[in-house]
């Protein structure tokens, strides 16, 4: 992957935001918003942004394949492409669609590059504040061109700040989350935007985040960035998160010590 190609992907996300996403923010009509499934929204901005981004990625790397969230909604078989050999782009045109549709922040645009099925590079762009996080093969994580590291956070549970995405948590797990709140410094309810949670972890705003649903377009870009910055992204049982392995539940943390402390707070000796 050339340096120019790496930079062009960031430019492509900025273009999609400027030409499609931001002009439609707080300008949507009811007819511009649909449900793909109960509670799962898609807007005209999602579809147009994915078309623009996908076309641009194919131009940048003609032999590559693009797997977009909205394309998968139309044809779930496209998910098989994530395991193919060669370059595959994974696109989330608007992460935080429910926020976007309601005229709320945050929402982000995300892309990841997989090579032979393994995450290799990632981009997360928050257009409302102009924050772009990137990582490329063999490199660390950068936010607006500045190298960032997540390591070195306190592992004292009473000083940890993080979020637990409660919307999809099974009823049996909710008491664990509520109990963990008493052991942690601050437990937030989440922002309904996985990409923004990952950005906040990179920037040190929080030290961990817990998810239940782990769709690849929501988590491959962010986990690639966090790991490049020294962080940890694992299933609750300690297995490393990988997009080709199905499952639910994901705990992401600033480093190994924080992951262990957060897991202990949520699960105890379980």
What residues does 66 pair with on adjacent strands? 89
**269 pLDDT exceeds 60?**
no
Distances (CA, A) of 150 to 156, 196, 240: 15, 15, 18
92 is in an annotated binding site: yes
Give tens-digit pLDDT for 166-209: 778 888 888 888 889 889 999 998 999 999 999 999 999 999 99
Distance CA 114, CA 106 (A): 26
Residue at a domain's end among 84, 115, 148: 148
Could you tell me the CATH number of the domain that includes residue 166? 3.40.190.80
Structure-token pair, residue 203: 């920037």
Look up tokens 């997989």; give the residue.
114
Helix or strand run (H / E) with residue 91: strand 87-95
95 is in an annotated binding site: yes
94 is in an annotated binding site: yes
Region 12-29: what's the mean pLDDT? 98
Quick check: helix, strand or coil at residue 28?
Answer: coil
pLDDT given at position 1:
61
70 is in an annotated binding site: no
Residue at a domain's end among 148, 179, 196: 148
75 is in an annotated binding site: no
Distance CA 259, CA 109 (A): 26
Q: Are residues 197 and 217 in the same domain?
A: yes
Q: Are residues 136 and 199 in the same domain?
A: no
Structure-token pair, residue 70: 């909205």
Give tens-digit pLDDT for 45-92: 999 999 999 999 999 999 999 999 999 999 999 999 999 999 999 999
């Amino acid at each position: 992957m050339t340096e120019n190609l790496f930079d062009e992907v960031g430019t492509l996300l900025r273009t999609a935001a400027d030409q499609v996403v931001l002009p439609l923010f707080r300008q949507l009509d009811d007819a511009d918003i649909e449900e793909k499934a109960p509670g799962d929204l898609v807007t005209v901005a999602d579809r147009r942004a994915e078309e623009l981004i996908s076309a641009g990625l194919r131009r940048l790397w003609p032999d590559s394949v693009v797997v977009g969230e909205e394309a998968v909604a139309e044809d779930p078989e496209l998910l098989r492409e994530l395991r193919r050999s060669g370059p595959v782009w994974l696109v989330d045109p608007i992460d935080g669609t429910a926020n976007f549709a309601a005229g709320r922040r945050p929402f982000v645009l995300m892309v990841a590059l997989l090579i032979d099925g393994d995450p290799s590079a990632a981009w997360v762009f928050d257009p409302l504040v102009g924050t772009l996080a990137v990582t490329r093969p063999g490199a660390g994580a950068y936010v607006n061109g500045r190298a960032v590291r997540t390591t070195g956070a306190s592992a004292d549970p009473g000083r940890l700040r993080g979020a637990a995405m409660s919307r999809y948590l099974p009823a049996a797990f909710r008491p664990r989350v509520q109990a963990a709140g008493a052991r942690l410094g601050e437990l937030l309810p989440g922002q309904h935007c996985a990409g923004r949670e990952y950005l906040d972890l990179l920037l040190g705003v929080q030290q961990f985040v817990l998810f239940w649903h782990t769709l690849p377009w929501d988590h491959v870009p962010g986990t690639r960035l966090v790991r490049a910055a020294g962080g940890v992204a694992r299933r609750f049982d300690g297995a490393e998160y990988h997009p080709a392995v199905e499952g639910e539940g994901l705990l992401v943390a600033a480093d190994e010590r924080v992951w262990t402390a957060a897991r202990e707070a949520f699960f105890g000796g379980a």
